[in-house]
Chains A and B, each alone.
Chain A
Amino acid sequence: MNIAVCVKQIPDPATPYTLDPDTHFVVRPDDQVLDDTDRYGIEMGLQLAEQTEGTVTVVSMGPEGTMQGIRTALAMGADKAVLVSDPALRGSGALVTARVLAKAIEREGVDLVIAGTESTDGYTGVVPQMLAELLGMPSLTFARKVEVTDGKVRIERQTANGYDVVEGPTPAVVAVTAGVVEPRYPTFKGIMQAKSKPVDQPSLADLGLDATQVGAAGSGQDITEVRPAPEREAGRKVKDEGEAHLEIVKVLEQAKVL
């Protein structure tokens, strides 16, 4: 089974990001890392590929940067990567992202597409579903367990009060939650091998897209204002020297819940 896993390189969450005051684009540092939640999708893809003697291709859109995130995915064991990286893509919204990923995936011809539920930096949380619609596939979303047998994919889909068992035919898009599997750490051998694994970098033209369909202009939305949210004032801070629980009781009394 040939599997595409969608991943995103994001600014290191340890370095907080900002918005450019003029363009309202996210200012991204060069040292982009693999979105931590993508490790679950990669691990899931690797396990299913191992069971079915298949391959894993990581597919990503975003600035090239140091490619640290893509290399991490390859070091975990993915066979190859496709990175669509064009300056015209800057400012793209979720639907443009999905369209670019769909075009890149169509070129690969895959049996299963795996994505995370949402990215850690943008979290629009709708890209996997858009991707499924564009590819004409069912979307099996919010999966906390995934199994593949005989051309069918079966998941446990989280619901507000529990979970449903959902089954569909392949090819399909599966969106996994963090926690679906325990991601492996890249081994030293994996890290060395990743350096020579192929990274395909198709241009927009290779994907049959032109610059007017993508980026901020092609995304159909415009940020008109960025402002601080009404601030919640931090209250008192007390250091526990054995009696801090009494302070909590006092606050509970003031809130009239005792």
Chain B
Amino acid sequence: MRFLIFSDGTGGAPSSTSLEMLTKARGLGECEVFFVGAGSDDAWAALGAHGASTVHHLDPGDALPAAAAAAALEGLAGEFDAVLFGLGYTDRDVAGRLAARIDRPVISNAVDFDASGSFSVVNEILGGTTQVVTTYTADSPHLVVVRPKSFVAEPGDEDAPDVVAVDPPDVGAAGSATVMERHTEEATGPKLEEAAIIVSGGRGLGEPEKFEMMNELAGLLGAAVGATRAIVDAGWVPYSYQVGQTGKTVRPAVYIACGISGAMQHLVGMKDSDTIIAINKDEEAPIFGVADLGVVGDVHDVVPKLIEALKSRSR
């Protein structure tokens, strides 16, 4: 099997999902990377260590890269059996455009893939309760969009990769969207994706002011703060807090869900946490189906008491 793995490097470093996919794919065959971003020696070293023999590097500058990246991939993808993408924004933009360009299906939300027989992809539906195995009847390259944290990234003892510069092809109007400004919304405390503990709030908190409890609890635990799509959409907290299908996928040691009912869209983003603690008034809430400890109660009673208990321990 020959794999081409897409890596979004707009943040500087290769996307973490690309390193996870490399770790899995290098055991199944040969791996090259298509990297979009400014790039650096550190980025090449990381990709090489995780199994990339060659890095194809496209620097899009301030262009929104999807259309040009898809056009550049069109010529390259035919040399590979499978092209793997993460679920990141640019990943999805390029995967969709490439699929249409080369007329190949893309299977999205994959949590695993297998090359022992015909290449197949596993994805989860119905909030992660059901797995579907899909094979491709179309010719290769097979396109896959893989969920983050499906595999654990581990560097091997691989050599530094060859780096090949790719000129962005001119794709006319389709490639003319341009990034005018970049804004970073800094969250305080540990990053959601890296935190050992996450305290997450949902609609059950009742009103935006009550979200302050989440910050206080997180502060005491050294935890990151997450949120459901419902309260992000309602404007209580920035989008960067969102855990779930459209937000971040997290796997902390402990996930504390406060006033979260457990919509499928949220569950897929957090159900693989080691320990899940849920506090919710509704005894029937789906979140209790994945919780190691489910507290049926009012977050406005339980959380302040928990905060007091943690404070008295640290005294």
A21 CA / B72 CA spacing, docked (Å)? 40
Residues of B within 8 A of A (CB): 10-11, 64, 66-67, 70, 87-89, 92-97, 99-101, 103-109, 120, 124-126, 128-138, 145, 172-186, 196-197, 221, 229, 232-235, 238-240, 245-246, 253-254, 256, 265, 271, 274-275, 277, 279, 283, 288-298, 301-303, 305-306, 309-310, 313
Any B CB within 8 A of the CB of A236 = yes
Q: Is the CB of B89 within 8 A of A163?
A: no
Q: Of B137, B246, B309, which is in contact with the most chain A CB atoms at under 10 Å from its CB?
A: B246
With A234-B294, A245-B305, A251-B293 already in contact, the answer to whether A157 and B183 are too (CB < 8 A) is no
At the interface, is chain A mostly helix, strand, loop or mixed? Answer: mixed
Interface size bracket, A side: 35 or more
A222, B121: Cα distance in complex, Å = 10
B96 touches A128 (CB 8 A): yes
Known: A160-B88, A234-B291, A257-B254. A16 touches B145 (CB 8 A): no
In the complex where A169-B176, A178-B229 touch, is A129 in contact with B182 (Cβ < 8 A)? no
Q: Are A221 and B136 in contact (CB under 8 A)?
A: yes
Question: Smallest CB–CB gap between A156 and chain B, Å?
Answer: 8
Q: Give the CA-CA distance A66 to B61 in the complex, in Å.
A: 48
Q: Is there an interface contact between B291 and A235, defined as CB atoms closer than 8 Å?
A: yes
Which residue of chain B has the shortest Cβ distance to A120 in the bound complex?
B265
| Residues on A with beta carbons closer than 8 Å to the beta carbon of B93 | 129, 139, 141
Bound form: Cα–Cα A105–B298 in Å:
49
- Identify whether the interface residues of B are mostly helix, strand, loop, or mixed: mixed
A192 interfacial contact with B, CB 8 Å = no
Asked whether, in the complex, the Cβ of B246 is within 8 Å of the Cβ of A132, the reply is no
* Shortest distance from the beta carbon of B259 to any chain A beta carbon, whole Å: 13
Q: Please list the residues of chain A having a beta carbon within 8 angstroms of any beta carbon in chain B.
A: 16-17, 19, 24, 93-95, 98-99, 117-118, 120, 123-134, 136-142, 144, 154, 157-169, 172, 177-179, 219-229, 231-232, 234-240, 242, 244-249, 251-252, 254-255, 257-258
Known: A168-B177, A228-B130. A133 touches B295 (CB 8 A): no
- Cβ–Cβ contact B240 & A161, under 8 A: yes
Chain B residue contacts of A222, Cβ below 8 A = 134-137
- Least Cβ–Cβ distance between A219 and chain B, in angstroms: 6
Among B145, B233, B239, B254, point to the contact of A158 (Cβ < 8 A). Answer: B239
- Closest B residue to A94 by beta carbon equals B106
Contact of B310 among A131, A168, A249 (CB under 8 A): A249
